[in-house]
Amino acid sequence: MVQDDDGQVLVFTYDYEAGESFDVVSQLETSTTVRILQTADEETVPEISQPDEYNGHVVRYQADDGPQGPTVLLFTRDQTFESGESGSLGEDAQMFSSRLNLISTSLE
């Protein structure tokens, strides 16, 4: 799996599960990613001045048994993940954008 230049991915704070493994389901359309990475007033935030430089992905946390794991959004800058690729979120995360409620973490 490819990471952005800083080796970081972005996830909404309420979706972050430290160390959780996931599978990539699909990539979001660029226009959808841009809308998600802007405020409700369609303004950019200082941390993401060019939201079209980011790629959005739909990922599903892996469940060992039982029902399917939760499906969440994950963002990278200038990199894409292919459907079917797998990865794990890092154990540590930092607030990336409080206005968008995004954190930054590594991929393991």
Domain-wise residue ranges, the chain: 8-103
Separation CA 84–CA 82 (nearest Å): 6
User: What is the distance between the alpha carbons of residues 90 and 8, in angstroms, rounded to a whole number?
Assistant: 9
Q: What are the 10-residue block averages of pLDDT along the chain, 108 residues in total?
A: 63 94 95 95 93 95 80 90 93 95 93
Which pLDDT value is given to residue 6?
A: 60
Q: How far apart are CA 64 and CA 35, in angstroms?
A: 33
